Structure 1
Amino acid sequence: MSEDDERIIIGRGTWIDKLASEMVEREKQLGRDTSLLKVESGLGASGIPHIGSLGDAVRAFGVKLALEDMGYKSELIAYSDDLDGLRKIPEGLPSWLEEHIGKPVSLIPDPFGTHESYGMHMSSILLDGLDKLGIKYKFQRARDTYQQGLLKNQIHTILTNSERIGRQIEEMVGQEKYQKFLPYYPVCAKCSRLYTAQSYEYDSDRMVVKYRCVDTEIGSRMLKGCGHEGEADITKDLGKLAWKVEFAARWHAFDIRFEAYGKDIMDSVKVNDWVSDEILKHPHPHHVKYEMFLDKGGKKISKSAGNVVTSQKWFRYGTPKSMLLLLYKRISGARELGFEDIPALMDEYNELEDIYFGKIKLDNEAKLVKSKGIYEYVNLLNPPKAAPTHVNFRLLIELCRIYKDDRTSKVIKKMVEYGAIKNPEPHIEELITLAGNYADDFEEQETGEIQIDDSVKTALRKLVDILSADNEPEDLQNTIYNIAKENNVAPKDFFMALYKIILGATRGPKIGPFITDIGPKKVAQTISKHI
């Protein structure tokens, strides 16, 4: 690629624009109608939805926005797989759910007693997160989809080609079971379980499958079948296609042109692409593979494990914009994620806003365009006309640690004293509430490793000695300034080092009074960890 090619900026300069552009180009090459370009996101309903589940829909919505920005009409379908069977009980949920293992989650009672089923409760958590983020979608339930026969033609075509599909699945991914039975699971009419009801014959004239309910291995456990033998009508009875073919049926039925996927279902996507292209004669959608979010221990964040980072918990500590920034910054690369990432994302959003409104200058044109583009997508392509007053979120957290009673008024008073704000504003009060929640719920965090040169370290050691003493200097601000000068360190570099150590930022309030408010000895301990 030439340097000129590398400088070509697509749309607003983000990965979202590039993806939408590639998708449109592919549609043109396929010669398909582009009057409505539908994108899809699958919503898992078998466990507590985490940010990874939410991210799939948020990113698909970003592609929808980019397509509309290019002049195309687009729609996001949020498909809830509420016919999926419950494989294990998510941590923290009642043990009585054990009797419902293997049943579709839309047939299991809601353990919280607030929705018609377990599946709708889990879906509602995810939809609530999307609503709070401002994501617009068309909600489609699997249960309705199958009961209304919306996939009946696709199911019929797939079942009449089941032998060919079974051979192809073995050839592509080494899985032999679909040569033994059909890639369709009825819900057993007697025990209501899904995976134990193995369909072995399809009557194409009557559009019914014959099945028997047998012992089946689910994950690492054996699930007992009830022995019932029966028939299920694919046009109206409850049942679902196996994952290896269901995506293809949905893509065809709903005319989906884009769907992202996680690397954990790569094999299923590979097979579904083939089924869509070769069996249903519907070119598979444009894809992008995204990496998974990991917890801070490097493990995959799981709906069934106890390491779930939900949008509801996130919004206790951070704004919807901070989450959108997390999801729109990039799509590739596995990322460790925890609530401790929120302060950095809150301040990073402010920095992007300053770039967008020209308060921070960038010399690199491509980086400037991309930064502005990400900011626009985080604001769902409807950015504000002017930037609100910014406050350093880590500064608010530190002040909230100091002031617990009458917190909002005291923190605002202190911010005015620091010159960080001129007057109280509603959005600052909201930020103080978030910062207060964070300060109350989390221990103080150490800032990451900071590069400090030797002359600055020498000056910091002198400051630590003074801050550790019982008698505090009358004018700490002036003392800090003099320590810098005496050690041939530019005061601004010394102050910046202190801001990085205390706040993880390059600037902040007047440093002397701020250290006095936090507590000199406490700050001395924090500085000591970096020198």
Structure 2
Amino acid sequence: MSDLRDAAMRSKAWPFEEARRVLKRYEKAPPEKGHVLFETGYGPSGLPHIGTFGEVLRTTMIRRAFEVISDIPTRLICFSDDMDGMRKVPGNVPNQDRLREDLQRPLTSVYDPFETHESFGHHNNAMLRRFLDTFGFEYEFFSATEFYKSGQFDEVLKRAVEKYDDIMKVMLKSLRDERAATYSIFLPIHPETGRVLYVPMKEVNAQDYTITFDDETGREWTLPVTGGNVKLQWKPDFGARWAALDVDFEMYGKDHSTNTPIYDAICEILGTPAPEHFTYELFLDDKGQKISKSSGNGISIDEWLTYASTESLSYFMFLKPKTAKRLYFDVIPKAMDEYHQQLRAYHDQDIDKQLANPVYHIHNGDVPRSDMVVTFSMLLNLASAASAEDKSALWGFIAKYAPDATPETHPGLDAAAGYAVRYYNDFVKPEKVYRAPTEQERAALTDLRAALADAGKALELIAQKNALDGKDEPAPAVDYTDEDFLQSIVFAVGKVHGFEPLRDWFKAIYEVLLGASQGPRFGSFIALYGRDETIALLDDGLAGKLAA
């Protein structure tokens, strides 16, 4: 354990760097509350999106890294701001006309358009928890509505009344004159309509902890700030929540970064040191637009898990959190393959490299071995060549290529085969465009077919290629199951037929035979797909059947 802790204390992996910052808070004395508190926030004004998952995952990685370098107990709270008023109706939910009747009411008082839960806020909270539970996160769920109404927030709300002028000074510096003229940190919940009111305060009374205001009709009301009668504006709420819970760490998106000094100042005014923070870059959709839970653009958690493993999504989230990343369907195959590349590398690495490897943080140090004897990208190409409708079609080829592999012994590969078929049929197949070969390509493809059918022709082409390269090498051993031998045939054909650059030859193979401009290492593809099957594919391409 000491070797692991020593390595973790010097690791440059970002979860360990952040964990060391949190630990530094308590280098003189342990926390009086007896634990270090990590928090993530969620605004349930729309359906949970993949960025929310990423926030919890990344915070969990830092929490686990902290547990390696410290014996101080930890907690993770996922806090839902479900007492916020619904400012607009999300565009990706049903029964929108009915929802409009509840505008400005707290989300936990808004009609559930799906009619499955007590409110829209309860529905979205349940979805968030289902997503988080799918990934096995260890967390405590907090609802702002319960937090306000149960009295857990009362002491901090009273302090906010006492420090009202100080907090207002912080806020007014950040507001335009027009907004500042009517701004208050307190938002009363109207006793009759139940709506969240954005109205100026006539009085904030530190003697009895009440606020006095006029509603939209001019009627005067006085309410206690405690017991869920009043909530805080979202920026003061952020800092006040940190103070109420004594939060040690919270991460949030770059769009919050300019507000960090405000959150920190309010937390400190209320008597608690501000937490450590980590600002991550935002996720973008395929058009480069920020992913939004209200518009539903980008890719959802359920959509990713339709086409790839949970671990591949975790891998994507680990990479470069301070760099904006395009999060759409075309990133899935790369994430799948790179995750398994890192799995294969992990067990032969020294401890420093292991701690820098994403899979260490994905699996909290208990890293499995990859059973992917075929890459995900190759499975996609196999699905394409075989026009596969289900994964059993792929297993017919996999079994010949790797006889020891079965769905039972290689469950990860079996799952990947199912993902590949779905991904191929939904995304690759609709975009496939085959073409007929040019005369040069036709001659080359004809020779490739002949070389696969006849060893003598294969050796003749390899010898011609060596002569063109000025090499005098012995003939290779003929082994049509060997990927390198098959690749040498493909290279030789391209060289003999004068493709310059040689990548034009491979591009021709992919466009004529697979209907795409990019593809696999073709020798490996032949070994997996089968020599006879590849010959048949070449025959179809040469005959124009694929292009037709």
State the partner residue of 2:250. Answer: 259
1:464-510 Cα shifts (integer Å, max 9, x gaps): 42476699547269677865664457965767975993138995561
Please, which of 419, 435, 442 is the counterpart of residue 465 of structure 1? 442
Q: CA deviation at 1:290?
A: 0.6
1:74-120 Cα shifts (integer Å, max 9, x gaps): 11100011112222222232321222222211111211112221112
Amino acid at match of 2:312: S
Amino acid at match of 2:251: A
Matched, 1:435 2:420: yes
Please, which of 364, 386, 392 is the counterpart of residue 375 of structure 2? 392
Q: Contact 1:169 / 1:271 at 8 angstroms: preserved in 2?
A: yes
Amino acid at match of 1:246: D
Matched, 1:116 2:118: yes
Q: Structure 1 residues 334, 471: closer, same or farther in 2, change over 3 A?
A: closer
Q: Contact 1:396 / 1:432 at 8 angstroms: preserved in 2?
A: yes
State the partner residue of 1:280. Answer: 270
What is the rounded CA distance, in whole Å, between the counterparts of 1:350 and 1:256 in structure 2?
Answer: 36
Q: Contact 1:182 / 1:198 at 8 angstroms: preserved in 2?
A: yes
Matched, 1:475 2:493: no
State the partner residue of 1:16. Answer: 15
State the partner residue of 1:223. Answer: none
State the partner residue of 1:142. Answer: 144
State the partner residue of 1:67. Answer: 66
State the partner residue of 1:239. Answer: 230
Q: Structure 1 residues 461, 95: closer, same or farther in 2, change over 3 A?
A: same
Q: Which moved more, 1:404-413 or 1:338-347?
A: 404-413
What is the rounded CA distance, in whole Å, between the counterparts of 2:417 and 2:464 in structure 1?
Answer: 38
Matched, 1:95 2:96: yes
What is the rounded CA distance, in whole Å, between the counterparts of 1:477 and 1:130 in structure 2?
Answer: 56
Matched, 1:339 2:294: no
State the partner residue of 1:381. Answer: 365
Q: Contact 1:350 / 1:390 at 8 angstroms: preserved in 2?
A: no
Gap runs ≥5 in structure 1:
1-6, 215-225, 448-459, 525-531
State the partner residue of 2:204. Answer: 202
TM-score normalized by structure 1? 0.81
Q: Structure 1 residues 308, 193: closer, same or farther in 2, change over 3 A?
A: farther
> 3-state DSSP class of the match of 2:152?
coil
> 3-state DSSP class of the match of 1:287?
strand
State the partner residue of 2:497. Answer: none
State the partner residue of 2:534. Answer: 516
Q: Which moved more, 1:11-20 or 1:166-175?
A: 166-175
Q: Structure 1 residues 428, 238: closer, same or farther in 2, change over 3 A?
A: farther
Please list, as runs of the form range in 1=range in 2, the aligned pairs for 1:67-466 lying within 5 A after superposition: 67-70=66-69, 71-93=71-93, 94-96=95-97, 97-172=99-174, 177=179, 180-214=182-216, 229-277=220-268, 279-358=269-348, 368-372=353-357, 374-384=358-368, 386-401=369-384, 407-419=390-402, 422-425=405-408, 426-444=411-429, 464-466=441-443
Q: Structure 1 residues 521, 129: closer, same or farther in 2, change over 3 A?
A: farther
Q: Structure 1 residues 53, 485: closer, same or farther in 2, change over 3 A?
A: farther
What is the rounded CA distance, in whole Å, between the counterparts of 1:482 and 1:511 in structure 2?
Answer: 24
> 3-state DSSP class of the match of 1:63?
helix
Q: Structure 1 residues 185, 291: closer, same or farther in 2, change over 3 A?
A: same
> 3-state DSSP class of the match of 1:443?
helix
State the partner residue of 2:475. Answer: none
What is the rounded CA distance, in whole Å, between the counterparts of 1:262 and 1:120 in structure 2?
Answer: 24
> 3-state DSSP class of the match of 1:39?
strand
Q: Percent identity?
A: 25
What is the rounded CA distance, in whole Å, between the counterparts of 1:462 and 1:482 in structure 2?
Answer: 21
Q: CA deviation at 1:259?
A: 0.6
CA RMSD, 1 decimal: 3.6
Amino acid at match of 2:306: R
Amino acid at match of 1:20: A
Q: Contact 1:188 / 1:228 at 8 angstroms: preserved in 2?
A: no
Q: CA deviation at 1:240?
A: 1.6
Amino acid at match of 2:527: K
What is the rounded CA distance, in whole Å, between the counterparts of 2:185 and 2:240 in structure 1?
Answer: 12
